[in-house]
Amino acid sequence: MLKNTKNRGLGRAITKRQKIAIAGVTTLGAAALAISAVPGNAQTTTAEAPAGKVAYSNEQIKDVKGKVTDQLASADVKAQDASAKHKAAVAAAKHRAAVAHDKHVAAEANAKKKAAAKKKAAAERKAKAAASRSAERVAVKPVAAKTYANNLDGWIREALDIMKKHDIPGTYHGLHKNIIRESSGNPNAINNWDINAQNGVPSIGLLQVIKPTFDAYHVPGTAWSQYDPVANLTAAANYAADRYGSIDNVNSAY
pLDDT 10s per residue in the chain (254 long)? 444 444 444 445 555 555 555 555 455 455 444 444 444 444 444 444 444 445 555 665 566 566 666 676 677 777 787 788 888 888 888 888 888 898 888 888 888 888 888 888 888 888 888 887 777 666 656 667 899 999 999 999 999 999 999 999 999 999 999 999 999 999 999 999 999 999 999 999 999 999 999 999 999 999 999 999 999 999 999 999 999 999 999 998 87
Q: Give how far Cα 35 sits from Cα of 22, 23, 62, 197, 234, Å.
A: 20, 19, 12, 175, 153
Q: At what angle do helices 172-182 and 152-165 cross, to 10 degrees?
A: 130
Ramachandran assignment for 205, one of left (phi > 0), alpha (psi -120 to 50 degrees), beta (any other)? left
- The full set of domain ranges for the chain reads 16-36+52-129, 152-249
Torsion, Cα of 65, 68, 70, 75 (10° steps): -160
* pLDDT at residue number 17: 54
* pLDDT at residue number 92: 85
CA neighbor of 248 nearest in space, from 198, 196, 175, 165: 175
CA 4 – CA 131 distance, rounded (Å): 97
Contact 68, 28 (CB under 8 A): yes
Q: Model's pTM, two decimal places?
A: 0.46
